[in-house]
Chains A and B, each alone.
Chain A
Amino acid sequence: EQQVQQSPASLVLQEAENAELQCSFSIFTNQVQWFYQRPGGRLVSLLYNPSGTKQSGRLTSTTVIKERRSSLHISSSQITDSGTYLCAMERTNYGSSGNKLIFGIGTLLSVKP
Chain B
Amino acid sequence: EAGVTQSPRYAVLQEGQAVSFWCDPISGHDTLYWYQQPRDQGPQLLVYFRDEAVIDNSQLPSDRFSAVRPKGTNSTLKIQSAKQGDTATYLCASSLGGSAETLYFGSGTRLTVL
Contacts and interface: CB of A to CB of B under 8 A. Distances in A.
Contacts of B104: 45
Interface string A52-74: 00000000000000000000000
A50 to B, nearest CB: 9
B45 A100 contact: yes
B101 to A, nearest CB: 5
Contacts of B108: 42
Interface in A60-95: 86, 88, 90, 93
Contacts of B56: 93, 96, 98, 100
Contact of B100 (A4, A42, A99): A99
B13 interface: no
A93 B53 CA distance: 15
Chain A interface residue number, banded = 20 to 34
A43 interface: yes
A98 B48 contact: yes
Given A93-B55, A101-B103, 12 more contacts: A4-B42, A42-B91, A42-B106, A43-B91, A88-B100, A98-B55, A99-B98, A100-B33, A101-B100, A103-B44, A104-B42, A105-B41
29 contacts: A33-B100, A43-B105, A44-B105, A45-B100, A45-B103, A45-B104, A48-B101, A86-B42, A86-B43, A88-B100, A90-B100, A93-B55, A93-B56, A96-B55, A96-B56, A97-B50, A97-B98, A98-B48, A98-B55, A98-B56, A99-B100, A101-B45, A101-B100, A101-B103, A103-B42, A103-B43, A103-B44, A105-B40, A106-B42
Interface of B: 31, 33, 40-45, 48, 50, 55-56, 91, 93, 98, 100-101, 103-108, 110
